[in-house]
C-alpha cells in the first residue's frame, strides 16, 4: 500500500473553521507544533515563570474547558541542568487553589508541591517561588496536585540535562507525552463512577462471547467461569475506570487525527522520551517496523534492552532509541490497555507523511489468575498454613528470570561488566492471604498473591514479539546502599469497585489517623499487595524505590511502580529524606477517593512494624 501525504493543517481545516484552527494552534506547545522546534535558550539558574489559567480548547472541531500552563496543553518543556539551583515562579490565575509537583525529582519537602502535606498550595492570584537544587538528570514531568486539574491539562515534560556525557548516542531527541482528556468535568466523571462503577465500560462480555468460550473451553468450564465472576459481582472486562467512551487520547497534546510528527533522516538514531501523563490510562506502545532499545526508566539509566512493545503505567517514563533505516513514515502507536482507543504520531522523513495505523487488537479479559484464584499448576505447600498465620518473607527463584537484555554496540560507554547474578525475589511463590479482609472498604481478597514481575500484563505477550517486563530492568551503575532491609512494611491495595471506593488496608486517607513512619537513615522493604482486580501505579515522593526484581546490585530505581492484580511487589527504600511525603496511587480518581497516605521520615526509633 502506498503511503499518502496529508498535512495536519488539512486535517484541522476539515474539522473546523480557520478561527478554531488558530485558537487550537495557540494551545499546542512548541515541541508539538513543529517537528523538533528549537527551545529558547536559558542560562542555568535563570528564573522560569509559569502561569496556570483557565482556557478554551478545541479538539477536532469540538470546544471544551481546559486548564493550561503558559497557554498550552501540555505545558512547556522545562529544561534544567544537573547541578544548577532551579528557581521556578508559578502564578495561579484560577479561582481555586493550585499547585505544581515535580514528579520524580528529589527536592526539599517544602518544594514538593502537595497541598496539605508539604505546603499550603498556591492561592488564587498568588505566585509561589519553587527553589531547589537539581541533583539528578533524565526525563521527568510536572503536574498539578490539586483536585482534577491534572486531567484538565496541568502537566508538562521536564528534561534535566546531565552534567556528564550520556552513555549512549543519538542524533535527534523528541518528547512523546501521552495523556487523556475529556470534555466532561472531572467532578461529573467521578459522580458517574460513584453511581455505577462500570459506567464507562461499554465492552462488557456478551452472550456471543459465552458461546465462543463454551466452544473453545467446553460448556462446563465456561459456565463455571461466568458463574465465578457473577458471584464475586465483578466484571473481567473492567480494565479501566474511565475509557474511550469519554476520553480522547493525546500525543504531545494532539489527537490521533492531528498526528504529531517527528522528523528524521534515514540511518539517524532517534531518542524518544515517553511520558505517561494520563490520569486514568495505561498505554501499550510500539512502532511497527522498528525495534526500540530501552535506555532509561523513570529518568534513570538502565542497561539497554531491545523490545518490540512496552506497557507504560500512568506517571512512568521510558526513554528508547530507535534507528529507522528507510525514508518512510513509521507510526508511533500507543494503544490503551482496554483497547477502547489510542494515541498516535509519526516518525517521518518530512512533514505531512502519515504511516499506516495498526489494526486494533481485541479487548482482553481478566482471568481467575488475575484474582489470585487460579490454583491449576501451582505448587502450593504454603496453602496448609493457617489462614491467620503471621506474615513471613518468602523467597524463591522466579521462572522466566533467564531473560537477558540485548546489548547494542552502538550504545557507547555502556559498561556491562560485572553484572550481578540473579537474586531471589520476595514473594516469588504464592503467599496465602491473611485472615484480615480489611473491612467494608475492600470488596474481595485474592486467595494468594505473588510477584509477577516477569509477566507483561493482561492483553500482552501473545503477539509473537518481545514485550518489556520489569525483570528486564537493570540499572547501569551498582546501587549505592548495599544494606539489606532492616524491616518490612506490608501495605494492601484495597477497593470496592461497585461503590468506587479506593484505599490502603481498607482505609481511605481521611480514615488513616497517623502517617506511616520511616526512621531516618534506615533501609526498609515496602511490600505492596494488590487485593483488587485492577492494576495500580504507586508513586512515592521524596525518595527512590528500588524495585526488587531479582537483579542483585543492579535493581532499578523507580519513582512509580506498577502493581498488577493479585500481585505483591517489594521495593527497597533508603529513608534519606526527612519530612512528610505523599505516597499514593497515580490513577487520579483513585487518589482522590482515598488511595493516599503520608510517609513521615524522622529520627524517632521505630522497631516494630507499622500498625494500621
Residue 131, domain member (yes or no)? yes
What is the arithmetic mean of pLDDT over 600-612? Answer: 61
Residue pair 561/528 in contact by the 8 Å Cβ criterion: yes
- Mean per-residue pLDDT for 416-441? 80
Average pLDDT, integer, range 384-398: 32
Of 45-49, 363-367, 369-373, which one has max mean pLDDT? Answer: 45-49
The separation between the first and the last C-alpha atoms of the chain, rounded to the nearest angstrom, is 61
- What is the arithmetic mean of pLDDT over 208-226? 63
Sign of the Cα pseudo-torsion (352, 355, 359, 363, in order): negative
Domain-terminating residue out of 100, 134, 166: 166
Number of Cβ within a 10 Å radius of residue 392: 10
Specify the CATH number for the domain of residue 116. Answer: 2.60.40.420
Mean pLDDT of 293-302: 98
Residue 407 has pLDDT above 60, yes or no: no
Residue 456 included in any domain: yes
List 347's β-bridge partners, or say none. Answer: 262, 330
Last residue of a domain, one of 131, 146, 166: 166
Mean pLDDT, residues 219-239: 62
Does 500 map to a domain? yes
pLDDT for 208? 60
Q: Confirm whether 2 is domain-assigned.
A: no
Please give the pLDDT value at position 608. Answer: 42
| Whether the Cβ atoms of residue 128 and residue 167 lie closer than 8 Å to each other | no
In the prediction, which pLDDT does 230 show? 55
Q: For residue 553, is it within any domain?
A: yes
Confidence of residue 226 (pLDDT cuts 50, 70, 90): low
* Partners of 1 in beta bridges: none
**With 70 as the cut, is the pLDDT of residue 237 above it?**
no
Number of Cβ within a 10 Å radius of residue 209:
14
Q: For residue range 479-524, list pLDDT tens digits in order.
A: 999 999 999 999 999 998 788 899 999 999 999 989 999 999 999 9
Residue 47 burial (C-beta neighbours within 10 Å; 0-12, 13-18, 19+): exposed
**Amino acid 32: pLDDT:** 81
Q: Judge whether residue 301 has pLDDT over 60.
A: yes
Mean per-residue pLDDT, 160-167: 95
Q: Where are the beta strands (DSSP E) in 277-339?
A: 283-286, 292-297, 300-307, 309-312, 317-322, 330-336
Instruction: State how far the Cα of 108 lies from the Cα of 121, in Å rounded to an integer.
Output: 16
- Of residues 225 and 561, which shows the higher confidence score? 561
**Sign of the torsion angle spanned by Cα atoms 460, 464, 468, 472:** positive
What is the pLDDT averaged over residues 324-335?
97
Which pLDDT value is given to residue 498? Answer: 80
Confidence at residue 71, expressed as pLDDT on a 0 to 100 scale: 94
| pLDDT recorded at residue 599 | 97
Measured distance CA(343)–CA(59) in Å, rounded? 13
| Tally of domains within the chain | 2
Residue 62 three-state SS: strand
pLDDT tens for 541-598 read 999 999 999 999 999 999 999 999 999 999 999 999 999 999 999 999 999 999 999 9
pLDDT at residue 390 in the model: 31
* pLDDT attached to residue 192: 93
Determine the pLDDT at residue 204.
57
Q: Which residues, in sequence order, are bridge partners of residue 596?
A: 584
What pLDDT score was predicted for residue 366? 73
Contacts of 361 (CB under 8 A, 6+ apart): 335, 339, 459, 463
Residue 134 in grid coordinates = 537539581
Average pLDDT of the chain, as a whole number: 84
Range 328-354 average pLDDT = 96
pLDDT attached to residue 586: 98
pLDDT at residue 45 in the model? 81
- For residue 493, the cross-strand partners are 504, 530
Average pLDDT for 319-337: 97
Short-list 151, 30, 154, 157, CA closest to 92: 154
482 assigned to some structural domain = yes
Q: Is residue 418 part of a domain?
A: yes
Q: Mean pLDDT throughout 140-148? A: 97
Percent of the chain past pLDDT 90, that is, above it, reads 68
Using DSSP's 3-state secondary structure scheme, residue 607 falls into coil
Residue 295, domain member (yes or no)? no
How does pLDDT run across 172-215, given as a tens digit for each residue?
999 999 999 999 999 999 999 988 767 786 565 555 655 566 56
Q: Which three cell numbers stand for residue 458?
A: 493482561
Task: Work out the average pLDDT over 295-321.
Answer: 98
> Residue 153 pLDDT > 80, yes or no?
yes
pLDDT at 442: 86
pLDDT at 232 over 80: no
Q: Which helix (H) or strand (E) holds 179?
A: strand 172-182
In the predicted model, is pLDDT for residue 296 greater than 80? Answer: yes
**Of 92-96, 398-402, 427-431, 596-600, minimum mean pLDDT range:** 398-402
The predicted structure's pLDDT at residue 382: 34
Please state the pTM of the whole predicted model: 0.85
Q: Whole domain around residue 53: which residue ranges?
A: 8-166
Stretch (H or E) spanning 305: strand 300-307
Report yes or no: 581 and 117 within 8 Å, Cβ to Cβ: yes
Contact 465, 395 (CB under 8 A): no
3-state secondary structure of 392: coil
Amino acid at each position: 500500500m502506498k503511503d499518502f501525504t496529508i498535512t495536519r493543517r488539512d486535517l484541522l481545516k476539515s474539522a473546523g473553521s480557520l478561527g478554531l484552527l488558530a485558537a487550537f494552534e495557540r494551545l499546542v506547545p512548541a515541541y508539538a507544533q513543529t517537528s523538533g522546534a528549537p527551545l529558547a535558550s536559558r542560562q542555568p539558574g535563570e528564573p522560569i515563570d509559569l502561569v496556570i489559567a483557565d482556557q478554551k480548547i478545541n479538539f477536532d472541531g469540538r470546544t471544551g474547558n481546559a486548564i493550561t500552563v503558559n497557554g498550552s496543553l501540555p505545558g512547556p518543556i522545562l529544561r534544567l541542568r544537573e547541578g544548577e539551583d532551579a528557581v521556578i515562579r508559578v502564578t495561579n490565575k484560577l479561582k481555586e487553589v493550585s499547585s505544581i509537583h515535580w514528579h520524580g525529582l528529589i527536592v526539599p519537602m517544602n518544594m514538593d508541591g502537595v497541598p496539605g502535606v508539604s505546603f499550603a498550595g498556591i492561592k488564587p492570584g498568588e505566585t509561589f517561588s519553587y527553589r531547589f537544587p537539581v541533583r539528578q538528570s533524565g526525563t521527568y514531568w510536572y503536574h498539578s496536585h490539586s483536585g482534577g486539574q491534572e486531567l484538565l491539562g496541568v502537566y508538562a515534560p521536564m528534561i534535566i540535562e546531565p552534567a556528564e556525557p550520556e552513555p549512549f548516542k543519538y542524533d535527534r531527541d523528541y518528547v512523546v507525552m501521552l495523556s487523556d482528556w475529556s470534555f466532561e468535568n472531572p467532578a461529573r466523571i467521578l459522580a458517574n463512577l460513584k453511581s455505577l462503577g462500570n459506567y464507562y465500560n461499554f465492552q462488557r462480555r456478551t452472550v456471543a462471547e459465552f458461546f465462543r468460550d463454551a466452544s473453545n473451553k467446553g460448556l462446563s468450564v465456561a459456565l463455571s467461569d461466568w458463574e465465578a465472576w457473577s458471584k464475586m459481582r465483578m466484571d473481567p472486562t473492567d480494565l479501566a475506570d474511565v475509557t474511550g467512551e469519554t476520553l480522547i487520547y493525546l500525543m504531545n497534546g494532539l489527537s490521533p487525527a492531528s498526528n504529531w510528527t517527528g522528523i528524521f533522516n534515514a540511518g539517524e538514531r532517534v531518542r524518544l522520551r515517553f511520558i505517561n501523563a494520563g490520569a486514568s490510562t495505561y498505554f501499550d506502545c510500539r512502532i511497527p517496523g522498528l525495534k526500540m532499545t530501552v535506555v532509561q526508566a523513570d529518568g534513570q539509566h538502565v542497561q539497554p534492552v531491545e523490545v518490540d512493545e512496552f506497557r507504560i503505567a500512568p506517571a512512568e517514563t521510558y526513554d528508547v532509541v530507535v534507528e529507522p533505516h528507510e525514508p518512510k513514515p513509521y507510526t508511533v502507536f500507543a494503544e490503551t490497555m482496554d483497547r477502547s482507543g489510542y494515541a498516535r504520531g509519526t516518525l517521518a522523513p518530512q512533514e505531512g507523511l502519515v504511516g499506516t495505523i495498526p489494526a486494533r487488537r481485541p479487548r482482553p479479559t481478566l482471568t481467575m489468575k488475575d484474582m489470585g484464584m487460579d490454583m491449576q499448576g501451582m505448587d502450593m505447600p504454603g496453602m496448609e498454613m493457617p489462614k491467620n498465620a503471621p506474615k513471613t518473607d518468602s523467597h524463591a527463584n522466579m521462572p522466566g528470570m533467564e531473560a537477558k537484555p540485548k546489548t547494542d554496540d552502538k550504545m557507547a560507554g555502556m559498561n556491562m561488566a560485572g553484572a550481578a547474578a540473579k537474586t531471589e525475589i520476595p514473594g516469588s511463590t504464592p503467599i496465602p492471604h491473611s485472615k484480615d479482609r480489611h473491612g467494608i472498604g475492600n470488596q474481595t481478597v485474592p486467595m494468594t498473591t505473588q510477584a509477577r514481575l516477569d509477566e507483561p500484563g493482561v492483553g500482552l505477550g501473545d503477539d509473537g514479539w518481545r514485550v518489556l517486563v520489569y525483570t528486564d530492568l537493570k540499572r547501569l551503575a551498582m546501587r549505592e546502599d548495599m544494606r539489606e532491609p532492616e524491616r518490612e512494611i506490608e501495605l494492601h491495595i484495597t477497593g470496592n469497585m461497585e461503590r468506587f471506593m479506593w484505599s490502603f488496608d481498607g482505609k481511605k486517607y481521611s480514615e488513616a489517623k497517623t502517617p506511616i513512619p520511616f526512621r531516618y537513615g534506615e533501609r526498609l522493604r515496602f511490600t505492596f499487595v494488590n487485593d483488587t482486580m485492577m492494576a495500580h501505579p504507586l508513586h512515592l515522593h521524596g525518595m527512590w524505590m528500588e524495585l526488587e526484581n531479582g537483579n542483585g546490585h543492579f535493581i532499578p530505581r523507580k519513582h512509580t511502580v506498577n502493581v498488577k492484580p493479585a500481585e505483591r511487589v517489594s521495593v527497597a527504600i533508603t529513608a534519606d529524606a526527612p519530612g512528610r511525603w505523599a505516597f499514593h496511587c497515580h490513577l487520579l480518581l483513585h487518589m482522590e477517593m482515598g488511595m493516599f497516605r503520608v510517609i513521615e521520615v524522622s529520627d524517632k526509633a521505630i522497631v516494630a512494624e507499622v500498625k494500621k
